Copies of this chain bind each other. A is one copy, B any other.
Amino acid sequence: MSKEIPYKIYLDEKDIPSSWYNMRADMKNKPAPLLNPGTRQPMTAQELSGVFCEELVKQELDETTPYIEIPQEIRDFYKMYRPAPLVRAYCLEKKLGTPAKIYYKFEGNNTSGSHKLNSAIAQAYYAKKQGLKGVTTETGAGQWGTALSMACAYFELDCKVFMVKVSYEQKPFRREVMRTYGASVTPSPSEMTEVGRKILAEHPGTTGSLGCAISEAVEVATHNEGYRYVLGSVLNQVLLHQSVIGLEAKAAFDKYGIKPDMIIGCAGGGSNLGGLIAPFMGEKLRGEADYRIIAVEPASCPSFTRGKYAYDFCDTGMICPLARMYTLGSGFIPAPNHAGGLRFHGMSTTLSQLYHDGYMEAVTAKQTEVFEAAEYFARVEGILPAPESSHAIKVAIDEAKKCKETGEEKTILFGLTGTGYFDLVAYEKFNNGEMDDYIPTDAELEEALSRLP
């Protein structure tokens, strides 16, 4: 094909995917089921539906349907910020002097600042359809909480966000976006819940943790008529919704007859990586094509590369089901100096199985080199990237430099999941030379892994 490739490939609105793609349908080895931590038996739809919306429970458990139709109401919402562009990084290629062709799928052009909105709107829709009054959730960095508050405002659902107290105080801007969208934002631990009161009584000065915020959100959802709990990553349903990222990227490539050689995404809980790679992985699973697929995780929280493939709790509070995944142990807490997301001790069960079966690679990146790549990218490509996505940028640049050495014209795709507008405290640290790298020792990891359930 000799068509000139623009800087940004936009699909037409009518080409927004009409179905999500479910990778599990094409996996020979399905991800292991969630277990009830009490009985150690697979969680049933009935058990799950006390916590999650019915339709979402169905999606969570569906291992056989490859394509699940996206309801029109969700597609209409998608039209407000999708299709998202597939960008050809011409300026970056030129600056690097590489023969590689670099593309990124950019998901940051919406007020939530990230891809999280793709799943938030789906989860809000099913909650509304079920006739619920509202949903509860927790948020740490705040991207998920922002996305959910936007989705709930659209469907006029109540939205209760438990925000880790330290973030609530240190990230007032994130809190205010959520409030502007009508969400109630409660610093966690709070006096609103039994678990919150208990923690406050035991640790009066605590600044909270994600594990505690999850516990509070789940308690409020299960103790209040008409509420359910929603989650922004890790779950199969979330990866399903996020497949729009990859489906659009693939359609944009197909328009120009291009096949990427490698696909690079950052990995925390797996929502953006799982979404980006979905249709490409589908082809790989069906033996129709081959791609190098690379997960990039922070050296400070290396689930794939240094974790264990085992059943573990998804939350620090140990109230959620057990999931078989690459985990550092639910007691593992990443170094406090680590900026941005990707702090989750575990990993999506689907991605864990795929990694275990050799369908993808994983590498780590250190925090300071990630911010160096972020700044370099910002100056050359004009977008200030989120720290999470900058892990993918770092590895994409490395791969492009290798092409420069070998002269290979490889086509690289990476996921630029979000913008860094709300991460400027981290950029400030970096600009001031106050950022450092902490890599957990083997002893630390052993200790956390020794307490697996």
Contacts and interface: CB of A to CB of B under 8 A. Distances in A.
A253 interface: no
A68 to B, nearest CB: 23
B81 A382 contact: yes
Contacts of A378: 111, 153, 180-181
A375 interface: yes
A341 interface: no
A385 B131 CA distance: 31
A7 B384 contact: no
15 contacts: A8-B13, A77-B382, A80-B381, A109-B109, A111-B383, A111-B384, A150-B379, A150-B382, A154-B379, A154-B380, A176-B431, A180-B427, A181-B378, A181-B379, A421-B422
A379 B8 CA distance: 28
A25 interface: no
Given A154-B382, A379-B181, A12 B7 contact: no
A359 interface: no
Contact of A382 (B6, B7, B8, B110): B110
Contact of A180 (B79, B180, B375, B380): B375
Contacts of A379: 150, 153-154, 180-182
Contacts of A181: 378-379
A10 interface: yes
A179 B371 CA distance: 13
A177 interface: yes
Nearest to A379: B153
A384 B180 CA distance: 9
Contacts of A431: 176, 179-180
Interface string A3-25: 00011101011000000000000
Shortest beta-carbon contacts, A-B, top 7: A153-B379, A173-B424, A7-B79, A6-B13, A176-B424, A111-B384, A176-B428
Contacts of A384: 111, 177, 180
A172 interface: yes
A422 B173 CA distance: 8
A419 interface: yes
Contacts of A51: none
A360 interface: no
Nearest to A146: B384
A91 interface: yes
A6 B16 CA distance: 12
A381 B81 CA distance: 10
Interface string A364-379: 0000000000010011
Nearest to A9: B13
Most buried by B among A109, A180, A375, A427: A180
